[in-house]
């Protein structure tokens, strides 16, 4: 496990101990929303939420699906 993974794991463990599940849920939803926003902007609006991450990367690097 690298340093970043260890840090995130500790944060999740603290949140669970303190019963901060809503905070974790909000964080995950925010990350998802931000990812979708960046995906749409980088693909000139062509991104669809059904795309896998690999499909998005193919589109961005090769211009194809």
pTM of the predicted model over 0.85: no
Q: What is the pLDDT of residue 17?
A: 96
Extents of the domains making up the chain: 3-62
Residues 5-52: tens digit of each pLDDT: 999 999 999 999 999 999 999 999 999 999 999 999 999 999 999 999
Q: What is the pLDDT of residue 64?
A: 73
Q: What is the pLDDT of residue 59?
A: 94
List, as one string, the DSSP characters of 36-48: HHHHHHHTTT---
Q: What is the pLDDT of residue 55?
A: 95
For tokens 């995906």, name the residue.
Answer: 39
Please say whether the beta carbons of 51 and 35 come within 8 A.
no
Residue 13, Cβ neighbours under 10 Å: how many?
A: 10
Over 90: is that where the pLDDT of 65 sits?
no
Buried residues in 53-65 as b, exposed as e (16+ CB within 10 A): eeebeebeeeeee
Angle between helix 3-17 and 21-42 (nearest 10): 140
């Amino acid at each position: 496990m690298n340093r970043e993974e260890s840090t995130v794991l500790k944060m999740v463990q603290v949140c669970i101990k303190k019963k901060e599940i809503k905070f974790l849920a909000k964080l995950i939803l925010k990350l998802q929303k931000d990812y979708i926003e960046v995906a749409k902007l980088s693909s000139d609006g062509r991104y669809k939420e059904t795309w896998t991450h690999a499909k998005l990367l193919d589109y961005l690097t090769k211009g194809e699906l």
